[in-house]
Structure 1
Amino acid sequence: MEHRAYVSLDSGKIYWMSELNPIEEEEIPDDLETADRYLEIPHKHDMDLGQRLVFRFVEARLPHQCNRVSDIFRHRGAYGRFKELLATEGCLDEWYAFEAEATEQALTAWCRANDIQLVEGEAQQST
């Protein structure tokens, strides 16, 4: 993948790396990818936050558009066209809320499964 993120089990610090947009300011530990003191944060597709999430939303909110969305996702640029459809249907903000909640739930479950303690409000403060 073009983007990877790791969490330090010692400090809780998150290291983000991107092949498309390298961050020069942050120093990445040399042993990040080999030491057992860091966990790679799974990609959204590994947590069913990709197309499966799209189809769960469509089935719940826009069942009359299931065939159209299925067709959209057979071609490149699907997410852009999907969001255009949502805007036309007047539910783009609802999608963003649905996606954010699903992402939070999946990451919380992943943290629990890996014995990572979450601190309330910390994610909002760092953005």
Structure 2
Amino acid sequence: MLVDWDELQHTVEFVSMGNEAVLCRKTGKIFWHTDLDEDIEAWPDDADDEEKYLVIPDKKELDLGKALVLEFARECLPGEFDEIRRIFSKRGAYARFRSLLLRRNALDRWYDFENRATERALREWCKANGLTTREGDPPAPEAK
């Protein structure tokens, strides 16, 4: 099954915000569902049929949650590891983690680390589910 890589990446972000999405195994079409607004397209009545649809995972299901943060801390901010581990032992961890990253001028490094890990995990998920990806158009050159 061929799927659009950019659309799949955006869909994982969408699902990671508490929404749902499925991929039709026959057509490769992705259906999005949210309780916050009307669905962009009609949600299939049989979306729970695993033979017809593949549920798009969120970042947590791709193991991109707390474990990834701790891996980043070990590799990139070893002196902050204990503090970051303590931050993630309580609610509201990501806001406090972001504040720490801002204080340490490490926010861009975190985003790069997270993006690389997300891409690896999503490509592995595609492979495990027999999906091949079609890359989107390259970004337009920046205006000078």
TM-score, structure 2 normalization:
0.77
Local SS of the residue matching 2:68: helix
C-alpha distance in 1 between matches for 2:102 and 2:29 = 36
Instruction: Select which of 94, 117, 120 maps to 2:132.
Output: 117
Structure (1 or 2) with the greater helix fraction: 1
Instruction: Select which of 22, 28, 39 maps to 1:6.
Output: 22
Equivalent residue, structure 2, for 1:105:
120
Local SS of the residue matching 2:22: strand
TM-score, structure 1 normalization:
0.86
The alpha-carbon deviation at position 4 of structure 1 amounts to 2.1
The alpha-carbon deviation at position 35 of structure 1 amounts to 4.8
Local SS of the residue matching 1:45: coil
Query: What does the per-residue CA deviation read over 1:26-72, in whole Å, with 9 as the maximum and x for residues that have no partner?
Result: 21111111251111122222221000000010100000001100111
Which has the bigger relative contact order, CA under 8 A and spacing at least 6? 2
Identity %: 40
Report the number of matched residues.
122
Local SS of the residue matching 2:31: strand
For structure 1, the residue ranges without an aligned partner over 5 or more in a row are none
How has the CA–CA distance of structure 1 residues 35 and 57 changed in structure 2, closer, same or farther, with 3 Å as cutoff?
Answer: closer
In the alignment, does 2:59 pair up with 1:59? no
For structure 2, the residue ranges without an aligned partner over 5 or more in a row are 1-15, 140-144
